[in-house]
Amino acid sequence: MKTPGHFIKCVICGKTKEEFGNNAMPVAKGLCCDSCNREVLLARLDAVFNAEIFG
């Protein structure tokens, strides 16, 4: 979501974007942009489905 005057620097791609940002864990520590958040969501899903509890 874009908010006028609110900028973040993405810890994944390094670009400065006008948006709120997303938690980049487990890919990186800090905030990522909406575009890079797709990579983060895939990494989270991968971690869940490869967890030992599903064995």
Q: Write out pLDDT tens, residues 1-55.
A: 555 778 999 999 999 999 999 999 999 999 999 999 999 999 999 988 887 655 5
Residues 6+ apart with CB under 8 A from 54: none
Confidence at residue 18, expressed as pLDDT on a 0 to 100 scale: 93
- Rounded to two decimals, the pTM is 0.79
**Residue owning tokens 């980049």:** 24
- Taking a C-beta distance cutoff of 8 angstroms, is the pair 34, 19 a contact? yes
**pLDDT tens string 20-33:** 999 999 999 999 99
| Distances 41 to 3, 32, 35, 45 between C-alpha atoms, Å | 22, 11, 11, 6
Strands 16-17 and 31-32: unpaired
